Amino acid sequence: MREQIRDIQRLKHILEAIENIQIFTKDSSYEAFLENKILQFAVVKNFEIIGEAAYRITKDLQKQNSHIQWELIIKFRHVLVHDYYNIDLNTVWRAIHDKLQLLKKEIQTLLERIKASEEL
């Protein structure tokens, strides 16, 4: 049960970081993103949080939800942290617009499913 509580907290951290990125970039164009170092750092930091939280999700929960691209999320975080001097901002921007909304829905659905199973 303790592991499930930790997983729930990590999933909530992922959702919060996704929502932060969406709020931060809501009215931003790609060109504005490229010109705004503060925005870049805020977005990258929240992607790092997503990746770290995903890494700390138990392997059992990851296996039960293999449709979520846990490995890709974790690898993206590793690139952002360890290859920080070579971050491709185009890749970051594409992740915001091509991946985040789907991940948000997947995490919300997973949290709802966990909550429903607790109520049984």
pLDDT in tens, the chain (120 residues): 567 779 999 999 999 999 999 999 999 999 999 999 999 999 999 999 999 999 999 999 999 999 999 999 999 999 999 999 999 999 999 999 999 999 999 999 999 999 898 776
> How far is it, in rounded angstroms, from Cα 104 to Cα 4?
19
Per the structure, the complete domain to which residue 23 belongs is given by 2-119
Active-site residue set? 77, 82
| Alpha-carbon torsion, ordered 92, 98, 101, 103, to 10 deg | -80
pTM: 0.93
- Give buried/exposed letters for 44-72 (b at 16+ CB in 10 A, else e): bebbbbbbbbbbebeeebbeebeebebee
Counted domains in the chain: 1
pLDDT score recorded for residue 43: 98
Say what the pLDDT of residue 48 is: 98
